[in-house]
């Protein structure tokens, strides 16, 4: 869409989203309801059952390794060209009474489920994990999406981390979040990790003297929950990094899906793409810096 039509559509989008921000501001925030949390937990439980089953088998380890021949070859070509391969997923309810698996309904919310892969040429598994676990410096690697990062607790393969997240796409959102992360080293070439958000609070007037945190689950609903599931495999002259992201946001008001839907669904996709692409570049940059010393 170009010209006057494109500019008009963008103006309409700004007006609508601004209206949503006003209607869901501190005085009239959109509440995260128990039934929405229950649906998200059910979705996560079903997804994690699939992930556990995949990790229990010897192969394939990565998502792209399970793709049909032509698609896998195309994905590999993209990865070798330095691109991120990403796709939307949808975990279905396999316990439904229907003859066919059905989507898991999420009343009052939307689940965004994406999986992506990047390939880091020349990188070892150890180098990749060293960057991933360097949470105190994620604010340096992943700006502007990560404004602040800190390890609150570290015990072996378990971390509790604090992240201040930033996103600007027409609307600016700043979130204070905490996440529990667990790593498992399978062998010298394979590892996986899981991260689950334990606290997400929107920041009102971020960076100002009177900034304050909104109550959990009582905000504009741009992010209520976020889980990520990572896999790492060293082979073929580098390390593959795979991330599966599941996030929960407020639902789109009735009648506005055609307008706001593409915006809402694009943010999780863009965030995952940015995270994987930045992981690739950061590992390569650190390797070059260490080699130069």
Q: Which two tokens stand for residue 168?
A: 């600007």
Per-domain boundaries in the chain: 3-292
Specify the pTM: 0.88
d(CA 226, CA 195): 8
d(CA 281, CA 22): 38
The predicted pLDDT at position 30 comes to 72
Residue 220 buriedness (CB in 10 A; 0-12 / 13-18 / 19+): buried
d(CA 94, CA 79): 32
CATH code for the domain defined by 3-292:
3.30.530.20
d(CA 281, CA 276): 9
The predicted pLDDT at position 148 comes to 97
Residue 160's DSSP bridge partners are 153, 180
d(CA 234, CA 189): 5
Are 229 and 194 in contact, with CB atoms under 8 Å apart?
yes
pLDDT in tens, 74-115: 999 999 999 999 999 999 987 755 556 789 999 999 999 999
Identify the band that residue 24 occupies on the pLDDT scale cut at 50, 70 and 90. very low
**H or E element that contains 281:** helix 257-292
d(CA 290, CA 143): 22
The predicted pLDDT at position 41 comes to 97
Q: What percent of the chain has pLDDT over 90?
A: 72
Q: Is the model's pLDDT at 185 over the cut of 70?
A: yes
As a residue count, the chain comes to 293
Q: What percent of the chain has pLDDT over 70?
A: 84
């Amino acid at each position: 869409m170009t010209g006057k039509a494109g500019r008009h559509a963008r103006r309409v989008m700004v007006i609508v989203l601004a209206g949503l921000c006003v209607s869901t501001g501190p005085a009239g925030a959109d509440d995260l309801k128990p039934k929405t949390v229950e649906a998200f937990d059910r979705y996560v439980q079903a997804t994690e059952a699939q992930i556990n089953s995949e990790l229990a088998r010897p192969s394939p380890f990565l998502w792209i390794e399970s793709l049909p021949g032509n698609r896998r070859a195309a994905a590999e070509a993209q990865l070798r060209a330095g691109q991120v391969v990403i796709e939307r997923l949808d975990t279905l309810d396999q316990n439904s009474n229907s003859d066919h698996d059905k989507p898991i309904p999420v009343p009052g919310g939307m689940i965004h489920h994406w999986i992506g892969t990047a390939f880091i040429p020349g990188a070892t598994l150890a180098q990749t994990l060293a960057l991933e676990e360097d949470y105190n410096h994620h604010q340096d690697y992943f700006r502007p999406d990560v404004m602040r990062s800190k390890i609150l607790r570290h015990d072996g393969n378990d971390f509790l981390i604090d992240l201040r997240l930033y996103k600007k796409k027409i609307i600016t959102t700043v979130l204070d979040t905490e996440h529990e992360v667990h790593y498992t080293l399978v062998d010298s070439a394979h590892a996986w990790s899981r991260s689950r958000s334990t606290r997400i609070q929107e920041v009102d007037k971020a960076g100002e003297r009177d900034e304050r945190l909104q109550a959990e689950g009582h905000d504009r609903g741009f992010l209520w929950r976020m889980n990520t599931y990572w896999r790492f495999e060293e082979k073929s002259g580098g390390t593959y990094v795979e991330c599966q992201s599941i996030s929960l946001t407020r639902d789109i008001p009735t009648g506005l899906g055609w307008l706001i839907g593409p915006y809402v669904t694009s943010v999780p996709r863009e965030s995952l793409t940015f995270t994987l692409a930045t992981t690739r570049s950061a590992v390569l940059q650190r390797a070059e810096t260490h080699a130069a010393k």
